[in-house]
């Protein structure tokens, strides 16, 4: 049987909880219906004790087999041959005994439930086709048995199996479809976050290439010229090397500016970019920014706050399972306070930084904010993770 789909594991978060809830819903439905319907008949003293025991045990085994197979389907695992054989055997016994004794009300419940579980392993079209076939086959079995035993209520023997198929099949396939949609949406959310991080890395690489490419090319040419002039015209060679030294200094300063976020990095742009990439990753974002306060900040603190937004956003995408986030910039006395809050706690790092030593982690940003009279802190509280930065206004 086919098990189309992808295995999704979010490390025990909301999606794993939803998976468990779907399993409990499906397995609980089977257990409750079979337990209540067959249990009453099994306890009937008018039914021979041996047949009651066989029916009760086979029904309990049918419930267990359904639970195991449902668990495998929810995890996108193929059913083992052993469980398939066991499921068919115990279901056949649970149906055959009541049917042989002329109980046309409960015999079809176990087959309809088990069939609804088994078709979940099939592609959608084949699953619905199998349910359609069962909608014909089970009533025919009931009809033939009723006619052969002289059952007067032939209609009951026909419509009851059809009702069981209609009750179990669409409901269980519908719950499975809901799980599959949720799993695919979570896959898309994680992919969007990864793409946002990759896009930021590509942007940085492109900026670095723009800065270094021209400088390095000119440095190489002038160094080659100086080497040729070293003996023939030492003065010109020295002049070329002084130009190389100046170019190298310019390249170093521009590279530092890029790494520190001063080049093409503004607080407004970072907040807008963070809102965009988080929304693309399925995170509900609320941005509450005092535009006048942002515009009035000195250049260095404003740029550092932009880097805090970028780093907090990157950490959120990489390390949390947030569904909501808020970016707030408000006055705090004579200072400006930036708060980035999300509901998916980031796993604790020994040094508080997603990438220690890269120059843009939270620890490094905290040091740079301290240098300009600001402060940066971060903490987890329950299911919340909050990054707070303050700078002089």
- What is the mean pLDDT of each successive set of 10 residues along the chain, which is 393 residues long? 40 68 87 86 84 90 92 87 91 90 87 91 89 91 86 83 88 83 79 76 72 71 81 84 82 74 65 78 83 82 85 79 87 88 63 39 84 87 86 79
Asked if residue 270 and residue 376 are part of one domain, the reply reads: yes
Q: Residues 324, 342: contact at Cβ < 8 Å? A: yes
Write the burial class of residue 287 (CB in 10 Å: 0-12 exposed, 13-18 middle, 19+ buried).
middle
- Give me 359's structure tokens: 């120059």
Judge whether 236 lies within some domain.
no
CATH number at residue 288: 3.30.565.10
Judge whether 278 lies within some domain.
yes
Asked if residue 180 and residue 59 are part of one domain, the reply reads: yes
Judge whether 244 lies within some domain.
no
Judge whether 298 lies within some domain.
yes
**Which residue, of 168, 189, 210, is where some domain finishes?**
189
Judge whether 178 lies within some domain.
yes
Asked if residue 138 and residue 32 are part of one domain, the reply reads: yes
Asked if residue 36 and residue 143 are part of one domain, the reply reads: yes
Q: Which residues contact 290 (CB under 8 A, 6 or more apart)?
A: 329, 330, 331, 336
Judge whether 255 lies within some domain.
no
Residue 348 has a pLDDT of 46
Q: Residues 115, 134: contact at Cβ < 8 Å? A: yes
Asked if residue 157 and residue 35 are part of one domain, the reply reads: yes
**Which residue, of 167, 189, 211, is where some domain finishes?**
189
Residue 367 has a pLDDT of 86
Asked if residue 23 and residue 137 are part of one domain, the reply reads: yes
- Number of structural domains in the chain: 2
Judge whether 203 lies within some domain.
no
Residue 68 has a pLDDT of 92
- Give me 74's structure tokens: 């929810």
Residue 151 has a pLDDT of 78
Residue 347 has a pLDDT of 47
Asked if residue 19 and residue 157 are part of one domain, the reply reads: yes
Asked if residue 289 and residue 170 are part of one domain, the reply reads: no
**Which residue, of 151, 173, 189, is where some domain finishes?**
189
Q: Residues 60, 87: contact at Cβ < 8 Å? A: no
Q: Residues 369, 296: contact at Cβ < 8 Å? A: no
- Give me 86's structure tokens: 């066991």
Judge whether 59 lies within some domain.
yes
Cα 173 off chain centre by: 22
Asked if residue 184 and residue 42 are part of one domain, the reply reads: yes
* The pairing of beta strand 284-289 with beta strand 324-332: parallel
What does each C-alpha distance from 300 to 233, 286, 332 come to in angstroms?
A: 46, 25, 18
Asked if residue 271 and residue 171 are part of one domain, the reply reads: no
Residue 338 has a pLDDT of 93
Asked if residue 29 and residue 123 are part of one domain, the reply reads: yes
- Alpha helices (H) along 75-153: 81-100, 109-118, 124-149
Whole-angstrom Cα Rg for the chain: 34
Asked if residue 308 and residue 179 are part of one domain, the reply reads: no
Range(s) of the domain holding residue 74: 14-189
What does each C-alpha distance from 87 to 51, 113, 306, 369 come to in angstroms?
A: 19, 11, 60, 65
């Amino acid at each position: 049987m086919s098990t189309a789909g992808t295995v999704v594991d979010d490390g025990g978060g909301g999606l794993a909880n939803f998976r468990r809830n779907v399993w409990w819903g499906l397995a609980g439905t089977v257990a409750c219906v079979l337990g209540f319907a067959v249990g009453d008949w099994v306890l009937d003293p008018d039914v021979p004790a041996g047949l009651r025991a066989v029916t009760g045990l086979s029904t309990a085994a049918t419930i267990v087999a359904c639970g195991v197979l449902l668990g495998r389907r929810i995890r996108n695992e193929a059913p083992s041959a052993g469980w398939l054989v066991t499921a068919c055997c115990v279901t056949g016994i649970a149906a055959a005994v009541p049917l042989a004794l002329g109980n046309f009300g409960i015999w079809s419940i176990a087959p309809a439930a088990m069939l609804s579980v088994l078709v979940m392993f099939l592609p959608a079209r084949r699953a619905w086709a199998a349910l359609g076939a069962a909608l014909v086959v089970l009533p025919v079995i009931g009809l033939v048995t009723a006619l052969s035993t002289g059952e007067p209520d032939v209609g009951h023997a026909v419509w009851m199996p059809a009702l069981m198929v209609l009750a179990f099949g669409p409901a269980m396939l519908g719950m499975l479809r809901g799980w599959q949609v949720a799993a695919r949406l979570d896959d898309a959310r994680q992919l969007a976050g990864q793409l946002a991080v990759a896009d930021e890395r590509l942007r940085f690489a492109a900026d670095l290439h723009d800065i270094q490419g021209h400088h390095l090319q000119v440095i190489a040419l002038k160094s080659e010229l100086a080497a040729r002039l070293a003996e023939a015209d030492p003065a010109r060679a020295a002049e070329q090397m002084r130009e190389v030294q100046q170019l190298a200094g310019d390249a170093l300063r521009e590279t530092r500016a890029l790494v520190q976020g001063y080049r093409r990095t503004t607080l407004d742009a970072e907040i807008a970019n963070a809102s965009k990439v988080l929304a693309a990753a399925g995170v509900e974002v609320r941005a509450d920014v005092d535009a006048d306060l942002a515009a009035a900040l000195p250049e260095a603190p404003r740029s550092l706050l932009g880097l805090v937004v970028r780093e907090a956003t990157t950490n959120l995408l990489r390390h949390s399972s947030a569904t909501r986030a808020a970016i707030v910039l408000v006055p705090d006395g004579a200072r400006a306070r930036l708060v980035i809050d999300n509901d998916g706690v980031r796993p604790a790092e020994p040094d508080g930084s997603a990438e220690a030593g890269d120059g843009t982690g939270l620890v490094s940003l905290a040091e740079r904010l301290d240098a300009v009279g600001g402060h940066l802190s971060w903490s987890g509280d329950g299911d919340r993770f909050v990054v707070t930065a303050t700078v002089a206004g």
